[in-house]
Chain A
Amino acid sequence: MRFLALLALTSLFGCNRHKVVLRSDVTYQAELDQYHQWATRQAVHLRRFIEGQCECTGNHFKSDDCAKAADFVLTIEARADWHKQMSLWNAGMLEQEPPAQPPEIAPLLCPLPPAPAGE
């Protein structure tokens, strides 16, 4: 019986080429929260900076730096929550399964479209 159980476990997990990492759920949650806050708070400040300092040429940003910064803001605003939820879900630390499709990122346009509600 033990041999059968061992054989079954080996067949289930033995050929898995992905390392499984055991972490403290408390530390992992704290780390995710911190990285998420860093990203989302930076996005708020960066948005204000872009809105105050960057100029448009038609629908495009005049400066390449402004365009690159705006792309980060739009991506973080759209995706930060979904990626965090997926990290928690895959770690078995979330009740509600996130949707398979990540949220759409707004197209890069000047001026920036309004921030999503709650940002």
Chain B
Amino acid sequence: MSDFSDMLDTLIPLVGGAVVDKAKDEITRLSEGADDPTTRVVFALMAEAVSELGEDGLDIAEAEIKRMLNGRTPDLDWASPRTASDAVALLQNAERARKKQAKAAIQKAGKVFGIVGALFFKAAVKGALGVG
């Protein structure tokens, strides 16, 4: 995620000084070349921010994209419905991935507890019986 923050920090001053239409075209061109869905959404949001809100839109886009990339809820009411849908799809897929990781971790923890629990139980029984 920090890769994208770094990219935004580099990109925003660069396009901020350019003519808005040219910046929009350039971001759109970069967006079309991106093969990763997150990168495509980031570029599409920036292009739409410039298109809808002008040069000032870049600051808003930067703040909202960073919120999204940091796992917080972004306010994307300025984005087109298809780009906002892509952004929400990213958040939903990220939540799915987190849940799968958590589920795997719980299953692993369950197995570990099973082993640890059995060892403790055996030790407690042996202790109670005075078996060495």
> Is B92's CB under 8 angstroms from A17's CB?
no
Q: Does residue A22 face the partner (Cβ distance < 8 Å to B)? A: no
> Is A1's CB under 8 angstroms from B82's CB?
no
Q: Does residue B96 face the partner (Cβ distance < 8 Å to A)? A: yes
Instruction: Kindly state the separation between the CA atoms of A76 and B92 in the bound complex, as whole angstroms.
Output: 17
> Is B113's CB under 8 angstroms from A5's CB?
yes
Q: Does residue B88 face the partner (Cβ distance < 8 Å to A)? A: yes
> Known interface pairs A1-B120, A86-B92, A100-B93. Does A12 touch B85 (Cβ–Cβ under 8 Å)?
no
Q: Does residue B105 face the partner (Cβ distance < 8 Å to A)? A: yes
Q: Which residue of A lies closest to B116 (CB)?
A: A4
Instruction: Kindly state the separation between the CA atoms of A89 and B99 in the bound complex, as whole angstroms.
Output: 10
Q: Which residue of B lies closest to A90 (CB)?
A: B95
Instruction: Kindly state the separation between the CA atoms of A96 and B113 in the bound complex, as whole angstroms.
Output: 30
> Known interface pairs A1-B120, A12-B106. Does A102 touch B82 (Cβ–Cβ under 8 Å)?
no
> Is B85's CB under 8 angstroms from A17's CB?
no
Chain B nearest Cβ from A42, distance in angstroms: 12
* Cross-chain contact of A74 among B82, B102, B117 (Cβ < 8 A): B82
Q: Does residue B71 face the partner (Cβ distance < 8 Å to A)? A: yes
Q: Which residue of B lies closest to A1 (CB)?
A: B120
Q: Does residue A115 face the partner (Cβ distance < 8 Å to B)? A: no
> Is A83's CB under 8 angstroms from B85's CB?
yes
The 10 closest A-B pairs by CB, nearest first: A75-B81, A86-B92, A102-B89, A79-B85, A75-B82, A105-B82, A90-B95, A72-B81, A8-B109, A75-B85
22 A-B contacts, Cβ less than 8 Å apart? Answer: A4-B116, A5-B113, A12-B106, A17-B71, A71-B80, A71-B82, A75-B81, A75-B85, A82-B89, A83-B89, A83-B92, A86-B89, A86-B92, A86-B93, A86-B96, A90-B92, A90-B96, A100-B93, A102-B85, A102-B86, A102-B89, A105-B85
